[in-house]
Each structure stands twice: as structure tokens, then as C-alpha cells.
Amino acid sequence: MANVNDPNGFTPAYHTSGGTIRPSEFAIQSGATGDIFAGDVVKLASGYVLQGGATDAPLGVFYGVEYTATNGEIVFSRKWPSATATQGSADAKAFVYTDPDRI
């Protein structure tokens, strides 16, 4: 039976001070393994964003990623597909909600 709740991970609703909810920018290493989807909890390891596990210290919640594909196309996606290669093996830009005052 299909999941009728239609879950999509953590989704920010509002900021406790009424401020604007903005993601912070971090790096994902070209070719990093492990799919990361919008709403997933992520961690920081050796300066790079990776999918977080149950016992990891969380960095925040993944929003999306921007990178230059190997064909030169600039891509923005709400998912980081495992082992994605970037042009020139450059780091991808991960957007992560890190503010602890967001609900």
C-alpha cells in the first residue's frame, strides 16, 4: 500500500524570530557517494557535506545542490545523486539549513 502521508523529510516552516529562512552554503566533494535528498539530515566530515546517520552530529537539513556537470551545464537539484562527477572535479555547492531557531 502506498504511503498516504507523502513524506518529504524535514521542511522548514518558519523562523522563531520571524526572520527569513535561508540556507548556508557548504561544499560537496565531486564524486561523493551516498544520495542526499532535500529534507535529509546532513553532517560535515573533513570539510564536506555527507548524508548524516543516526549517531552523527548533525550539521543541518539539506535543501539542494548546485554544480557544473561534466558537459559544462550548470545544474541545480534538490538531490545529490551518489558519485556525481563535476566538471574539473570541482566541489559542488550544497545549500543546508543550519539555523537552530527555525521550526
* Spatial CA neighbour of 61 closest among 34, 81, 38: 38
Residue 3, pLDDT > 90, answer no
Prediction pTM value? 0.87
pLDDT given for residue 1 in this prediction: 47
pLDDT given for residue 42 in this prediction: 94
- Contact call for residues 89 and 99 (beta carbons, < 8 A): no
Rg of the chain over Cα atoms, rounded to whole angstroms, equals 14
- Contact call for residues 10 and 16 (beta carbons, < 8 A): no
pLDDT (tens digit per residue) in 11-51: 888 888 887 888 999 999 999 989 999 999 999 999 999 99
pLDDT given for residue 5 in this prediction: 60
